[in-house]
Chain A
Amino acid sequence: DAGITQSPRYKITETGRQVTLMCHQTWSHSYMFWYRQDLGHGLRLIYYSAAADITDKGEVPDGYVVSRSKTENFPLTLESATRSQTSVYFCASSDGRTTNEKLFFGSGTQLSVL
């Protein structure tokens, strides 16, 4: 049972480069999310998606782009990476059927922008 997987696990890139972080879930959950985790800030929502072809901004969307052409995939792209985007990125999914909307998280991608 694969669940939710993120790739790559670790990524080092340079300022100005485009980077795409992948997220794949096998549960057919309708909702998917991208969070970034930084010391002193906890988890902050970047973008989320309620279904295929439906995406919306979260708390910190600037500098990021998402797409959701298929229910199971929700890639996050940094179009021109900056040092401030060095962070640990978590993808999550939820079936959206209960009010608490339990989130299932991937294991994270640690991104360093040099």
Chain B
Amino acid sequence: DGGITQSPKYLFRKEGQNVTLSCEQNLNHDAMYWYRQDPGQGLRLIYYSQIVNDFQKGDIAEGYSVSREKKESFPLTVTSAQKNPTAFYLCASSIDVAGGAYEQYFGPGTRLTVT
């Protein structure tokens, strides 16, 4: 059963703690992405990775870090430097369907609450 999994679904942390969100895909997609969504807002790109051992900052990378040691996995760490970490975090992966047009699919998301 192919897809993208994210765990946990809900996560609660105290301010000042780092927290790592998991994202795994078995779709054999090369590219993976992390987005953040705040209530009533669209999605904003945090980091993305085109290939293993390579990743680039998105529009709002400050306070976040990622790694891409395996094709299937792209974990996101929310550090204590992130000023407003409470949000819905979405992981996605994509495949090139038409010479540069990438279809992007999302995991179920992790809802992080920091108090």
Is A bound to B? Answer: no
The residues of B with any CB-CB pair to A shorter than 8 Å are: none
